[in-house]
A and B are shown apart, each in its own frame.
Chain A
């Protein structure tokens, strides 16, 4: 009889449930099995569950942000060993192909996203008790002993995504930055901005709690319910607009806002998940504005070591944005809270301990 475990799975579109599924086993010599201790819920999980990104079927396991203990490793795994506490990159990659050499992991032949559905490699998700981790040497990294799961889990996706937006967005010291969407990713971008020499960050959102959270992290809050966000940004940038804009929502309204606040010659980094949205301006309009566009998938593999170090040295405090710590069994309720903006960031605990 196969052993089973709990997993958060798609129930009906828009809803998850916790159910028993077969426990994964090693399938390849480069795999590891990780006993999950902490898994976080991400905005992209909602996109998948709500089927904005199509492909997830009833019973598919979700989740790509996780920390755990290495339980078992394949014969070819050399850099992690059982018993180690590790954080995973939200996607595995091979580490030696042409794309990986260029840090363009998205086009690595081995690129898959945990719990990303059939469109992203059909790899099972990580909001579970156990998860199979392909290419464990690349995908996993040990967590410094003194660091909490709650801090480390952010380096597997959203902290790396926010940081990557600023890095790839080409932010320079003294630039003004606008973040469209003050959810967890936007808040982390605000948190990271001083590391790039930025002291003026606008956080644009419609949700008062999110604006408050961004403000507490040092952002200038811009409430898009009250006026045109571009007025606030242009008024406070000498009528120029923001040098770099991070679109951290992933919908057409947010794209429109992003293009309305970017300066001529500025950059829009698209860090929100997009699927089939139209461009907010014509190609010619974009050319005339000389706006550089960067579509970004967060890159934990490139940035996790520096991020772990920045957390260790107290320069970043990602766990500070967690509003709810809940049991994996309560995932359905957690998703609902997150979807309704009644929770800022939720981590699920499996109850497993090192």
Chain B
């Protein structure tokens, strides 16, 4: 299954969708109210993002000063990519051990639900960059 191939891609497209979410007039305030500072640890390619929802900022790691997270999620980058394409059941992914969570499960699931309206925008951002392949190649898991 095709996934993002470089750390820079992760920061551009997944980082980008978080920046869009924070800037969204409807979604931004809802995310800020969650109080969540979310750390994402991705593998293959490896990348670290810290999304400070109340602060409205996205930090790209792993180097440098990162805000202290109150929720941490770790997973394969591919799972994150599939999630943003709307193809992952977040609760099941946690129960199956595809993703590891530290922190409040209700908050994680709430964020996962809030993100739903952004799925088409994530897809659009990939297509706009000519990365249709990452959207259209759906492997069998």
Chain A residues at the B interface, C-beta cutoff of 8 Å: 228, 230, 234, 238-241, 260, 264-265, 281-282, 284-285, 288-289
Contact = CB atoms under 8 A, between A and B. Distances in A.
A238 B97 contact: yes
Interface string B69-99: 0000000000000000000000100110110
Contact of A264 (B94, B102, B104, B106): B94
Contacts of B114: none
Contacts of A288: 91, 105-106, 109
A238 B97 CA distance: 7
For chain B, the bracket of interface size reads: 10 to 19
6 contacts: A238-B97, A239-B98, A239-B100, A241-B97, A281-B105, A282-B104
Lowest 9 A-B CB distances belong to which pairs? A239-B97, A264-B95, A240-B97, A288-B105, A285-B105, A284-B106, A285-B106, A234-B100, A239-B100
What's the dominant secondary structure at chain B's contact region?
Answer: helix
A285 B98 CA distance: 19
Nearest to B99: A239
Nearest to A282: B106
Nearest to B94: A264
Nearest to A289: B105
A265 B109 CA distance: 17
A187 B107 CA distance: 36
What's the dominant secondary structure at chain A's contact region?
Answer: mixed
A54 B106 CA distance: 35
B11 to A, nearest CB: 24
Nearest to A241: B97
A264 B98 CA distance: 12
Contacts of B100: 234, 239
B34 to A, nearest CB: 15
Given A239-B97, A260-B102, A288-B106, 7 more contacts: A228-B102, A234-B97, A234-B100, A284-B106, A288-B91, A288-B109, A289-B105
Nearest to A286: B105
Contacts of A284: 106
A265 B98 contact: no
Q: Name the residue among A234, A239, A265, A289 with the largest chain B CB count within 10 angstroms.
A: A239
B104 A285 contact: yes
Contacts of B91: 288
A230 B97 CA distance: 13
Contact of A265 (B95, B104, B105): B95
Nearest to B107: A285
Contacts of B104: 281-282, 285
Nearest to A288: B105
B40 to A, nearest CB: 16
Nearest to B97: A239
B95 A230 contact: no
B73 to A, nearest CB: 12
Contacts of B109: 288
A213 B94 CA distance: 34
A54 B94 CA distance: 41
A285 to B, nearest CB: 5
B29 to A, nearest CB: 23
Interface in B84-139: 91, 94-95, 97-98, 100, 102, 104-106, 109
B116 to A, nearest CB: 18
A281 B104 CA distance: 8
Contacts of B94: 264
A205 B106 CA distance: 28
Q: Name the residue among A228, A230, A264, A281 with the largest chain B CB count within 10 angstroms.
A: A264
B111 to A, nearest CB: 13
Contacts of A285: 104-106
A151 to B, nearest CB: 41
B9 to A, nearest CB: 24
A289 B97 CA distance: 13
A324 B104 CA distance: 43
Interface string B30-63: 0000000000000000000000000000000000
A230 B106 contact: no
A289 to B, nearest CB: 6
